[in-house]
Amino acid sequence: MDTNKQLDEKIVEKNEEVNCIDQISVLYNEGINSTDKIAQSRRFNFFVIVFSLFASTCIGVILCYLLYVFA
C-alpha cells in the first residue's frame, strides 16, 4: 500500500510539473503575441505620421498656390 501512495504522489508531482511547463509556454506565447502587436502599432503610427505630414504639405502647397493666383 505504501508504494501505491508513493507512486500516486510521484504522478501528482509530475502532473504539476507538466502543468507548470504548459503555463510557462502559454505565457511565453502571449509575450510573443504582445510584442508583435506592439511592433504593428508602432509601424501603424509611423505610417500615420508620414501620411499626415504628406497631407499637410499638400494642403499647404495648394493654399499657397491659391493665394498666389487670387492675390
pTM, rounded to two decimals: 0.53
Q: What is the mean pLDDT of each run of 10 residues along the chain (71 residues)?
A: 76 83 85 83 90 95 93 77
Range of the domain at 39: 1-70
CA angle, corner 20, sides to 16 and 25, nearest 5?
A: 150
Percentage of residues of the chain with pLDDT beyond 90: 34
pLDDT tens across 28-41, in order?
Answer: 888 888 888 888 88
* 12 half-sphere exposure, CB direction, 13 A CA radius: 6
For the chain, the domain total comes to: 1
Phi, psi torsion values for 39, nearest 5 degrees: -65, -40
> Residue 17: its pLDDT value, please?
82
